[in-house]
Structure 1
Amino acid sequence: MEDSYRQQGKRKLLVELVREKGIKDEKVLQAINEIPRHLFMDSSFEDHAYQDKAFPIAAGQTISQPFTVAFQTELLQVERGDLILEVGTGSGYQAAVLCELGAKVYTIERQQKLYKKTKNFLQKLGYRPKFMSFGDGYKGLPEYAPFDKIIVTAGAPFIPKPLMSQLKIGGRLVIPVGEDPQIMTLLKRTSAKSFQKETFGEFRFVPLLEDKN
């Protein structure tokens, strides 16, 4: 799995573009710079890897736009050692960013084909989430809760209550909410029953699907 000087150079240009669009967290920018995004895509689409665009992958899903990945990650305020639940493993790119930042990542994917492919691929790259699950993201992973942070990488029509309940007090949940487009939403858990909500404009994601397998 090659990561050439040319590809590294393209990645640096991508990082500068993402910075210009408003991402300020240097640790997030460094993670984007470190991860060979072209390896997460079919080799025939390598030229698209360092454009700031989402791109189709298997099972009707997409690899998210780098700016969107950086934006959601910045909102999470990742600290080394954080327990983070990711809903929607997809290509594994977002999980790799979280691993690069030193988080303990628990991630769920509902498409079995994608789950198997990504689990194998992330290990080959040296990114090892603490736990990868094939299942329904709406339900979260109650057996590993509570989580410091939760990130949802698909558009949800509402914020699933199980995810809210699996967030630590003081924790942060980042989720795109709505049909098309979605509104990027940050929930901070302030007490056992209280949440503070902020919104951050429109984004477009594939829908978060319930488990039909």
Structure 2
Amino acid sequence: MGGQDWALDDVLLWLQACSLDDVASLLIGYDLRGTDLLTWDHNCLSQLGVTSASIRSKILDELAAIRERGPEEPKESERKSGHRALFDIVKQSSYDQVLAVETPLTTRDIIVTHGRLGCLQITKVNGVNLPLRENDCLLEINDCPGEQFKSALMLTKLISDSNGAPIRFVVLRMKTQEHADDSSNETSSSGVSSSPRSPSD
């Protein structure tokens, strides 16, 4: 019975937890629900693009385990209640600056991973002039708690669906990184040196 009430994001999250990211990426375009998982067999998974028999077997084994024990989802009610863990995250971390930023993104602009704080964390910024930085922890994305974005694929889907519209982030940023950037900015663009030519009159 476990998993029948899952939405697509829950299915992707489950596959991510099983270290099946490649399979999750195949399924992003499908309107899958938890009930669809009950019909999965080798033939169905082959039609979905899972060509490896060993990977199909692993998926079916994981599904069987969920049906036996039920999904481990005590956190579902916590996720529904919103920002339960924000205070603890900010208090216990070495990050001490919380910023609200809004920016349009393409799927190539940032690379994220699932960080130790329970939220996605930026590992690389490829886009130009973005307000986001490496190591930023995404506490909130478009008014949804960052804890709900357990997989980088889920953020990729949101960025794709946004079609260039600005995305709202609440980020947790490291103090040391911010201070280092501030000091370098001050030395490179301080006072009159930022205006190389004086007015002639």
> Which gives a bigger RCO, structure 1 or 2 (Cα 8 Å, sep 6+)?
2
Higher strand share: 1
The structure having more radius of gyration, on CA atoms, is: 2
> Fold conserved (TM > 0.5)?
no
Higher helix share: 2
Q: Give the TM-score, by structure 1 length.
A: 0.23
